[in-house]
Amino acid sequence: MTPYFPGHGDHRYGVTHYDLRLAYRVPANRIDGTARLTVAAAEPLGVLDLDLGRFRVAGVTVDGVRTRYTHGQGKLRLTLPRPLPAGARAGVEVRYSGNPVPVPSRWGGLGWEELTDGALVAGQPIGAPSWFPCNDRPDDKASYRISVTTASPYQVIANGVLVARRRGAGTTTWIYDQIEPMATYLASVQIGRYQLTDIDGIRLAHPARLATRVRHDFGRQGEMMALFGDHFGPYPFAGYTVVVADDDLDIPVEAQGMSIFGRNHVDGVRGSERLIAHELAHQWFGNSLTVACWSDIWLQEGFATYAEWLWSEGSGGLSADGHASRWHQRLALLPQDFVLADPGPAVLFDDRVYKRGALTLHALRQALGDDVFFPALRDWTAGWRHGTVGTRDFAGHVQRYAAQPVGPLLSAWLHNKALPRL
């Protein structure tokens, strides 16, 4: 299968840990960074290619030895001081600085984004190189330590657990540890003048003036967490944070252990609660269970969309059956010109992919019955927890729970362009 983003990532090696140390000046939108990567060779290596955007690289070392490198067109190529045998590990340090520039894509700029007063990271699918050197492919998951120093009036929120906060002369350093493996596109930093609120153990970071609306609009996340825990199994991370940026955003953004919304998603009447459920569900489907290839995006977006329907059903709104019927009618009127299990990059984030993915799950639920379907989902998230998954993995998993072959049903939804009957 042809990779969707052949210019990103390298399968000749993996990264087991990232230690990112950033100093960020908000008015200048400038990063001064040191990235330390622990890399493991999958085959003998004489050179190492990292993905990195438009920064000035000040120096590179490998296991403490200064290393020759070239940098251009999004690639930082290191000539290793000595060949790295297959299975061996090395420590790579890159010092870099500059103004982060989002990675251009068909969906606009991706990655580090300057806000009116702060910054956010929206990395899916290829935005990570906009702020740190990495092996930018979704199946190369690693642990992280993220340290950010910035002016003290700003809150810094990153993936994982806040392990230290150190005040300096007008600045504060925030240090987060993300011990569960994480894909590069899910790594995130949020910087803003935020007020922190805790509701049902979920942290909210938001502009102070929006406190009342935020507490109302996000006030049912504890109930969502309980419902999704029943359906999908235990929440997979140490905590969950929602950031409401003081800017308008086109869509909410997922990251591991957090979700990012714009102020336009807060209206005081829960007008975006469907999106709140969707982003929370991504913690199971996308962040804990991450697709190994972007062609399997339905395993993330279809599941998160179906979680919207389950929340609607569980909270007294339209049933999942009702949502399925409505969306099946709509999709039947739209072009049926892609294969769900390999839609192609042009329609990767097309709403038809999301809704057809959810319909696939509903059809499977109807075929298996709730007493089989939901235990299968819980075992799916438990068996592949913090790993990478593919469509074949899911089909094989589900078949173990079914009394009859599910291959024909899944094949019709996943591999045929024509929309099956519901």
pLDDT per residue as tens digits for the range 121-145? 999 999 999 999 999 999 999 999 9
Q: Which residues are catalytic?
A: 279, 354
Do 49 and 178 lie in one domain? The reply is yes
Q: How far apart are CA 24 and CA 86, in angstroms?
A: 37
215 lies in some domain: no
Q: Is the dihedral of CA 23, 120, 309, 297 positive or negative?
A: negative
Pairing mode, if any, of strands 45-51 and 161-167? unpaired
Q: What is the CA radius of gyration of the chain?
A: 22
Find the CATH number of the domain harbouring 392: 1.10.390.10
Pair 128, 136: CB distance under 8 Å: yes
| Per-residue pLDDT tens digits for 188-200 | 999 999 999 999 9
Number of domains forming the structure of the chain: 2
321 lies in some domain: yes
28 lies in some domain: yes
Find the CATH number of the domain harbouring 161: 2.60.40.1730
173 lies in some domain: yes
pTM, full prediction:
0.97
Q: How far apart are CA 197 and CA 338, in angstroms?
A: 43
- Can you tell me which residue has the tokens 């520039």? 101
Do 42 and 178 lie in one domain? The reply is yes
Interior angle at CA 282, CA 324 and CA 346, nearest 5: 70
For residue 275 the two structure tokens come to 């999106």
Do 173 and 321 lie in one domain? The reply is no
For residue 170 the two structure tokens come to 């007008």
Total Cβ atoms within 10 A of residue 364:
21
Domain carrying residue 385? 290-415
274 lies in some domain: no
395 lies in some domain: yes
Pair 266, 217: CB distance under 8 Å: yes
Q: Is the dihedral of CA 261, 265, 267, 270 positive or negative?
A: negative
Do 300 and 161 lie in one domain? The reply is no
- Mean per-residue pLDDT for 299-327? 98
At 2 the pLDDT is 78
- Mean per-residue pLDDT for 364-388? 98
- Mean per-residue pLDDT for 11-26? 98
**If 0-12 CB within 10 Å is exposed, 13-18 middle and 19+ buried, where does residue 146 land?**
buried
Do 23 and 165 lie in one domain? The reply is yes
Residues at the binding site for Zn(2+) are 278, 282, 301
Q: Which of 183, 198, 216 is the last residue of a domain?
A: 183
At 249 the pLDDT is 97
Do 25 and 172 lie in one domain? The reply is yes
**If 0-12 CB within 10 Å is exposed, 13-18 middle and 19+ buried, where does residue 159 land?**
buried
At 1 the pLDDT is 64
In one letter, which amino acid is 414? L
Pair 192, 118: CB distance under 8 Å: yes
Residues at the binding site are 278, 282, 301
- Mean per-residue pLDDT for 1-7? 88
| Chain mean pLDDT for the chain | 97
166 lies in some domain: yes
Candidate from 1-10, 208-217, 391-400 with smallest mean pLDDT: 1-10
Do 166 and 298 lie in one domain? The reply is no
Q: How far apart are CA 101 and CA 52, in angstroms?
A: 11
| CA torsion, ordered 300, 302, 305, 307, to nearest 10 deg | -70
Q: Which of 164, 183, 202 is the last residue of a domain?
A: 183
Q: How far apart are CA 23 and CA 379, in angstroms?
A: 42
Q: Which of 183, 211, 227 is the last residue of a domain?
A: 183
In one letter, which amino acid is 136? D
87 lies in some domain: yes
Furthest-apart CA atoms within the chain: distance in Å? 67
Of 129, 128, 152, 144, the residue nearest 25 (C-alpha): 152
